[in-house]
Amino acid sequence: MRSLAFLLTKDDFINSDWQDVANSSERKECSIYSRDFWNKAQAAKAAGNIRQQAVLEILAVVTSPAVKPGSTDEFFADLFQHLTDEHLDFLTEIVSEVSDPELQARIADILWVRRHDYRMAQLAVTAYLQSAIELEYPQNWSSCFHRIERALRLARKINHQIDEVVNHIETVLNRYNEEDPFLLSTKLMQLLQEFQLGDPKKYAAIAQKAATIAELARDWHRARDLWTIKAIWHRRDKDEEKERAASMLAAETYIKEAEDAFHHHPVPYLAASSYLQKAVEAFRSIRGTNGETLDAKARGKEAHKLMIQYQAQSIEELGVISTEVDISNEVDKARNFVKGKKLQDALFCLALLGASPRVSKLRQLAQETELLSRFAPIVKINEIGKVVARQSSNTEEIETAFKLEMYITAIDYQRCHVQAFIEPARDRINLEHSVQISDFLPIVSNNPFIPSNREYLFAKGLYAGLTGDFITSTHILIPQIENSVRYLLAKQGVITSGLDRGIQKEHFLTSTLYPTNYPEIATIFDEDTLFDLQGLLVEHSGSNLRNRMAHGLIDDREFGEPIMCYLWWLTLRLCCLPILNYQQIVAQSDPWVSFAGMFKDDPLFDEFVEDMAAYRRELDAETTTCDLSSEEQQSG
C-alpha cells in the first residue's frame, strides 16, 4: 500500500462516515465491509474528498484478507506487511474510537501482530468476543466460532483473559442446553479440549446428551463427533472404562450409517461398505490392553466380514458408463500395418503400433480433474469390490492424488489401445501365419533386454500371448521382466540385492523400477515407459499385476481382460526396440518409434547387432521397412 502524502488524524476517521458501512451490512463481517469500503472510497475520490478516500482505502485494506484464527502471528503479520508505520500510527490513534466490535477486533489484532502491543491483544480478545455475540447464528456457526477461537488463542498467547473467554464459551454451551442442532456446541467443546480447559465430568454429560439427540435425528456425523468428544473428556478425567465405552459408541455410528445407506443411497452396498471400512478402523483404534479391547476387536471383525460381503455385492451396482466410439478406421489401419508381411516383419510392425501413454499428457489430464476430485475423491476397487487405492483430499499429498488419477487414466488408454490396434493386428498375424515358439527365437536371442539362458522363457511367453493364451504369457513374462530389470541395472554396476545377516535377497520391482531407489533405471527406460511398467506391475493405483499375480488375486476371467494383452505387447516392444533402432526401419521422426534407442548405450549391443544382421540380410527387399507401402496406405 502506498505511503500517505499527508498525515491522517482521528478527526479524519470520525468524519469519513465509515459507520455507514457497518450500519448497512446485514452481517457484521470484515469480508463484507471490505467491498463496501472500497466502493465508498471510489465515491469519495470522484467527489474530490481526498482525506475521506484515504481513510476508507486503509479500512478496505484492513478488512480485506480472510484471516484463519489458527494462523501464526507471523503469518497474520505478513498479510498486512504493506501497511506502513504511518498507517499503523493512524490505526493506533483510531482503534479506541471504533464502535463496531468486528472492525475494532481486526484493527487491534493487526497492531498486536505488527507491533506486539500487549494492550492491543487484550482489546482484540474483548472485541472478538463481542463480535462473536453479534455473529452467533447456530445454522451458520463458523463466523461466530472463528471469533471465539481467535480470542482464546490470543488470550493463551498473552496469558491473560483466558477465564473471560472460557466463561463466554460456557455461557454459549449452557444456552443451547445440549440441543444445538448444528455444530457450534461441538466445535466449542473441541476447542476447550485442545487447550485442556473445561470441567471433564460436566462436559462429558453434555456431550452424551447431545450425541443421543443427534442419533435420534440420524445425524451420524455429528453423533460420531460428540461420542468422540465424550471419550476425550473421560480420558482427561482418567476414566479409561468410560472412554472405551464412548469410543465404541462412536465406532458404532459407522455401522448405523451403513444400515441407513440401504434406505436412501443410490448405490447402497458401495456406500455401506465404505462406512464399514471406517468402522473397522475405528474399532481397531480403541485404546486399551488386549483384554480390555476384546469387544472392540470382535465388533471390528464382524464389521470387516460384513464389509467384504457388501463389497462383493457392490460390483453389481456399478453400471458401465459407455460412449459409442467408432474405431473401425484404427482397426483397419492396424490390420493393414501387418498384412502381407513375413512373420518377423509383422511382429516388428506390431511392436511399433503405438507407445506408452505420455506422462506429460497424463499429468495434464490429472490437473484438469483435480478440482472435481476435491469434492469427490477417486477410489479404485478391484474385481470383488475391495478398495485397493484411494485418492487423498489432503493438499499435502496432492502429488499422490495426481499419481492415482494418472494411473487410472493410463489404464483407460491401455484398454483402448488393445481394442483399436493390438488385437486387430494380432488376429491378422495369426490368420496369415502358423506361428511356432521357435519363430520368436531370432527376436529374443542375443537381445540386450534378455539375459542368457532366458531366451526360451521369453519366446514361450511371447508365443503364448500372440496365440491368445494370456494365462501362460502373464505367468511367464512378469517374473522375467523383473529379472531383466535387475539384469540391466547390474550391467551398469548396480547392486540389486540386499545383505541381511549374511543372507542376500534380490530386490523386487517395487524397488528397482523407481529412480528414487535406483537412479540408473531412468537411463535405461524413458519416463513414459517407466511409468507404464510401474502402473502395470507394482502400483496399487494401477493394474498392479506383478503383486496381484504373486498373491493369487487374479481369477480366470481377468486373464482375458485387455490389460493382459497390453502387458504382452509392451514386453514384445521392449524386446523388439533394440532391433528396430539398429535397422532404422522407420524414420526417427515417426512418433511410433519415440522409444527406439533406449538401449543405445548398452555395452553388448554391438554383439547383438552382428548376430541379428545375418538374419536381416535374408529378408527380401519388400520387407526392409515396416512403413506402409503406398498401396497399403491407399487401402488403409
- Give the 3-state secondary structure of residue 357: coil
Q: d(Cα 287, Cα 289) in Å, to the nearest integer?
A: 7
Q: Which three cell numbers mark 636?
A: 488403409
Longest pairwise C-alpha distance within the chain: 101
Tell me the backbone φ, ψ of residue 499, rounded to 5 degrees.
-130, 110
Q: Rounded to an integer, what distance in angstroms lies between the CA atom of residue 109 and that of residue 178?
A: 32
**380 has a pLDDT exceeding 60:** no
Q: What is the pLDDT of residue 608?
A: 33
Residue 162 has which C-alpha cell? Answer: 483466558
In whole angstroms, give the CA distance from residue 563 to residue 176: 58
Buried b (16+ CB within 10 A) or exposed e, 546-565: bbbbeeebbeeebbeebbbb
> Which of left, alpha, beta for 392 (phi over 0: left; psi -120 to 50: alpha)?
beta
User: Cα 8–11–12 angle (5° rounding)?
Assistant: 45
Q: How far is CA 125 from CA 97, 153, 214, 615, in A?
A: 17, 9, 32, 87
15 vs 246: CA distance, rounded Å = 58
Helix, strand, coil percent content, the chain, rounded in steps of 5: 70, 0, 30
Q: What pLDDT is recorded for position 503? A: 56
Contacts of 88 (CB under 8 A, 6+ apart): 110, 111, 114, 115
| Per-residue confidence (pLDDT) for residue 204, from 0 to 100 | 95
| Grid cell digits, residue 274 | 465404505
Q: How far apart are CA 394 and CA 374, in angstroms?
A: 9
CB under 8 Å to 46, separation ≥6 — which residues? none
Q: How far apart are CA 156 and CA 219, in angstroms?
A: 34
Within 13 Å of residue 7, how many CA atoms lie on the same side as its CB?
6
More confident residue, 29 or 6: 29
pLDDT of residue 578: 61
Domain boundaries, the chain: 10-236, 239-317, 334-622
Task: Pick from 400-404, 494-498, 534-538 the range whose average pLDDT is largest.
Answer: 534-538
Residue 381 pLDDT: 53
pLDDT reading at 592 higher than 50: no
**Beta bridge pairs of residue 505:** 498
CA torsion sign for 441, 442, 443, 444 is positive
Please give the Cα distance from 52 to 20 (Å, whole number).
Answer: 13
> What are 267-276's pLDDT values in tens digits?
788 788 878 9
Q: What is the pLDDT of residues 385-439, one digit of tens each?
A: 555 555 555 544 556 667 788 888 888 889 888 998 999 999 999 999 989 998 8
The answer to whether the predicted template modeling score (pTM) of the entire model surpasses 0.75 is: no
Q: By the 8 A CB rule, do 193 and 173 touch?
A: no
Whether residue 600 has pLDDT greater than 50: no
DSSP category for residue 3 = P
